[in-house]
A and B are shown apart, each in its own frame.
Chain A
Amino acid sequence: MNSAASARIRLKGMLIKEGLQIIRDPSSIAIAFILPVVLLFLFGYGVSLDAKHIPIGLVVEQPDTNTASLTGSFSQSTYFTPEYFHSIKAADTALKEHKIEGIVWLKNNFSSQLLNGQTPDIAVLVNGVNSNQAAITQGYIEGTWVTWLQHYANLSGHAFKPTVELEQRVWFNPALNSRLYLVPGLIAIIMTLIGSLLTSMVVAREWDRGTMEAILVTPLHINEFLIGKLIPYFILGMGSMLFTVTLAIWQFDVPLLGSFWLLLLSSTLFMLVSLAIGLLISIVSKNQFIAGQISIMVTFLPAFMLSGFIFDINSMPEVTQLITQIVPARYFVAILQTLFLAGNIWPVLLANMGALVLMLIFFAIIVRKKSTNHLE
Chain B
Amino acid sequence: MTSPLQLKSVSKSFASKERPILAVDNVSFTLTPGKVTGLIGPDASGKTTLMRVMTNLLIADSGHIQVLGLDMATQGHAIQSSLGYMPQSFGLYEDLTVQENLDLYANLQSVPLEERPKRYKILLEMTGLQAFTQRLSGQLSGGMKQKLGLACILIRPPSLLLLDEPTVGVDPVSRRELWQIIYRQVADEGMTVLVSTTYLDEAERCYEVLLMHEGKILGQHKPADFNKTLTGRTFRLEAKGILYRQLLTQLEYRSDILDASLGEDNIHLISAADTPFDQAALLSDLRLLKHVTDLRITPAPAQFEDVFIATLKAQTTTLSPPKKIKTVINKTSPEDVIKVVKLERRFGDFVAVKGISFSVRRGEIFGLLGANGAGKSTTFRMLCGLLPASSGSLSVAGHDLRTASATARRNIGYMAQKFSLYTNLSVSQNLRFFAKAYGLSKSRQAERIQWALTTFELTDYQNSNAGELPLGFKQRLSFAAALMHEPDILFLDEPTSGIDPLARQEFWQRTNALAETGITVMVTTHFMQEANYCDRLMIMAEGQVLAAGTPNEIRQLATTDNQAMPSIEDAFIHLIEEHTPPQDITS
What residues of chain B lie closer than 8 Å to A12, measured between beta carbons?
107
Identity of the chain A residue whose Cβ is nearest the Cβ of B80 in the assembled complex: A217
Please tell me if B83 contacts chain A, counting CB pairs below 8 Å.
yes
Q: A9-B107, A217-B55, A374-B56 are in contact. Are A209 and B94 (CB under 8 A)?
A: yes
CB–CB B110/A210 < 8 A? no
What residues of chain A lie closer than 8 Å to B57, measured between beta carbons?
213, 216-217, 373-375
CB–CB A219/B59 < 8 A? no
What residues of chain B lie closer than 8 Å to A25, measured between beta carbons?
95
| Smallest beta-carbon distance B49→chain A, Å | 10
A181–B122 Cα distance when bound, in Å, is 61
| Smallest beta-carbon distance B100→chain A, Å | 6
Pick from A16-24, A89-97, A273-281, A361-369 the stretch touching chain B.
Answer: A16-24
A17–B77 Cα distance when bound, in Å, is 22
Q: A13-B103, A16-B103 are in contact. Are A213 and B89 (CB under 8 A)?
A: yes
Q: Among A14, A16, A213, A218, point to the contact of B109 (Cβ < 8 A).
A: A218
Q: A219-B81, A219-B110 are in contact. Are A374 and B59 (CB under 8 A)?
A: yes
Binary flags per residue of B72-83, CB closer than 8 Å to A gives 1, else 0: 000011001111
What residues of chain A lie closer than 8 Å to B91, measured between beta carbons?
210-211, 213-215
CB–CB A375/B93 < 8 A? no
User: Which residues, 82 to 106 on B, are CB-close (under 8 Å) to A?
Assistant: 82-96, 100, 103-106
Please tell me if B52 contacts chain A, counting CB pairs below 8 Å.
yes
CB–CB B59/A211 < 8 A? no
What residues of chain A lie closer than 8 Å to B85, measured between beta carbons?
214, 217
A217–B89 Cα distance when bound, in Å, is 14
CB–CB B106/A13 < 8 A? yes
Binary flags per residue of B109-153, CB closer than 8 Å to A gives 1, else 0: 110100000000000000000000000000000000000010010
Q: Among A21, A209, A216, A376, point to the contact of B59 (Cβ < 8 A).
A: A376
Please tell me if B273 contacts chain A, counting CB pairs below 8 Å.
no
Please tell me if B58 contacts chain A, counting CB pairs below 8 Å.
yes
Please tell me if B280 contacts chain A, counting CB pairs below 8 Å.
no
Please tell me if B108 contacts chain A, counting CB pairs below 8 Å.
yes
| Smallest beta-carbon distance A155→chain B, Å | 77
A21–B93 Cα distance when bound, in Å, is 9
Identity of the chain B residue whose Cβ is nearest the Cβ of A21 in the assembled complex: B95
Q: A374-B58, A375-B57 are in contact. Are A210 and B88 (CB under 8 A)?
A: yes
CB–CB B77/A221 < 8 A? yes
Please tell me if A269 contacts chain B, counting CB pairs below 8 Å.
no
CB–CB B109/A219 < 8 A? yes
What residues of chain A lie closer than 8 Å to B103, measured between beta carbons?
13, 16
Identity of the chain A residue whose Cβ is nearest the Cβ of B113 in the assembled complex: A9
Q: A21-B96, A209-B94, A219-B80 are in contact. Are A214 and B87 (CB under 8 A)?
A: yes
Interface size class of B (residues with CB under 8 A): 35 or more
Please tell me if A66 contacts chain B, counting CB pairs below 8 Å.
no
Please tell me if A86 contacts chain B, counting CB pairs below 8 Å.
no
Identity of the chain A residue whose Cβ is nearest the Cβ of B82 in the assembled complex: A219
What residues of chain B lie closer than 8 Å to A1, measured between beta carbons?
110, 112
A21–B94 Cα distance when bound, in Å, is 10
What residues of chain A lie closer than 8 Å to B105, measured between beta carbons?
13, 218
Binary flags per residue of A5-49, CB closer than 8 Å to B gives 1, else 0: 110011011101100110011000000000000000000000000
Binary flags per residue of B465-491, CB closer than 8 Å to A gives 1, else 0: 000000000000000000000000000
Please tell me if A220 contacts chain B, counting CB pairs below 8 Å.
yes
| Smallest beta-carbon distance B228→chain A, Å | 36
What residues of chain B lie closer than 8 Å to A14, measured between beta carbons?
104, 107-108
| Smallest beta-carbon distance B58→chain A, Å | 6
What residues of chain A lie closer than 8 Å to B92, measured between beta carbons?
211, 214
Identity of the chain A residue whose Cβ is nearest the Cβ of B83 in the assembled complex: A217
| Smallest beta-carbon distance A364→chain B, Å | 20
What residues of chain B lie closer than 8 Å to A17, measured between beta carbons?
93, 96, 100, 104
A13–B110 Cα distance when bound, in Å, is 9
Binary flags per residue of A198-237, CB closer than 8 Å to B gives 1, else 0: 0000000000011101111111110000000000000000
What residues of chain A lie closer than 8 Å to B108, measured between beta carbons?
10, 13-14, 215, 218-220
Q: A1-B110, A219-B109, A374-B58 are in contact. Are A214 and B86 (CB under 8 A)?
A: yes
User: Which residues, 187 to 215 on B, are CB-close (under 8 Å) to A?
Assistant: none
User: Which residues, 37 to 68 on B, are CB-close (under 8 Å) to A?
Assistant: 52, 55-59
A209–B96 Cα distance when bound, in Å, is 14
| Smallest beta-carbon distance B159→chain A, Å | 14
Identity of the chain B residue whose Cβ is nearest the Cβ of A12 in the assembled complex: B107
Identity of the chain B residue whose Cβ is nearest the Cβ of A206 in the assembled complex: B93
What residues of chain B lie closer than 8 Å to A221, measured between beta carbons?
77
A14–B105 Cα distance when bound, in Å, is 9
| Smallest beta-carbon distance B160→chain A, Å | 11
CB–CB B104/A16 < 8 A? yes
Identity of the chain A residue whose Cβ is nearest the Cβ of B164 in the assembled complex: A213
| Smallest beta-carbon distance A252→chain B, Å | 35
Q: Which of A13, A16, A209, A376 lies at the interface centre, i.e. has the most chain B CB atoms within 10 A of its CB?
A: A13
A194–B568 Cα distance when bound, in Å, is 55
A365–B77 Cα distance when bound, in Å, is 20
Q: A17-B93, A214-B87, A217-B57 are in contact. Are A373 and B110 (CB under 8 A)?
A: no
Q: Which of B55, B84, B152 lies at the interface centre, i.e. has the most chain A CB atoms within 10 A of its CB?
A: B55
Identity of the chain B residue whose Cβ is nearest the Cβ of A10 in the assembled complex: B108
| Smallest beta-carbon distance A368→chain B, Å | 15
CB–CB A20/B109 < 8 A? no
What residues of chain B lie closer than 8 Å to A20, measured between beta carbons?
95-96, 100
Q: A12-B107, A16-B104, A217-B80 are in contact. Are A375 and B52 (CB under 8 A)?
A: yes
| Smallest beta-carbon distance A24→chain B, Å | 5
A20–B102 Cα distance when bound, in Å, is 14
CB–CB A373/B107 < 8 A? no
Identity of the chain B residue whose Cβ is nearest the Cβ of A220 in the assembled complex: B108
A376–B77 Cα distance when bound, in Å, is 15
A213–B56 Cα distance when bound, in Å, is 10
CB–CB B107/A210 < 8 A? no
What residues of chain B lie closer than 8 Å to A9, measured between beta carbons?
107, 110
A1–B95 Cα distance when bound, in Å, is 31
A218–B100 Cα distance when bound, in Å, is 17
A17–B58 Cα distance when bound, in Å, is 26
A290–B24 Cα distance when bound, in Å, is 29
Q: A9-B110, A10-B110, A12-B107 are in contact. Are A373 and B76 (CB under 8 A)?
A: yes
A218–B156 Cα distance when bound, in Å, is 10
| Smallest beta-carbon distance A105→chain B, Å | 62
What residues of chain B lie closer than 8 Å to A13, measured between beta carbons?
103-108
What residues of chain A lie closer than 8 Å to B82, measured between beta carbons?
219
A373–B112 Cα distance when bound, in Å, is 25
CB–CB B58/A375 < 8 A? yes
What residues of chain B lie closer than 8 Å to A214, measured between beta carbons?
85-87, 89-92, 149, 152
A215–B106 Cα distance when bound, in Å, is 12
CB–CB A373/B80 < 8 A? yes
New contact pairs (8) apart from A1-B112, A210-B90, A210-B91, CB-CB < 8 Å: A5-B110, A13-B103, A17-B100, A21-B96, A216-B57, A218-B108, A373-B77, A376-B59
**What would 8 A/B residue contacts be, using CB atoms closer than 8 Å?**
A12-B107, A16-B100, A16-B107, A213-B57, A213-B87, A215-B108, A217-B55, A219-B80
The chain A residues found within 8 Å of chain B, CB to CB, are 1, 5-6, 9-10, 12-14, 16-17, 20-21, 24-25, 209-211, 213-221, 373-376
List of 7 A-B pairs having minimum Cβ-Cβ separation, nearest first: A214-B91, A13-B107, A210-B89, A6-B110, A219-B81, A217-B85, A213-B87
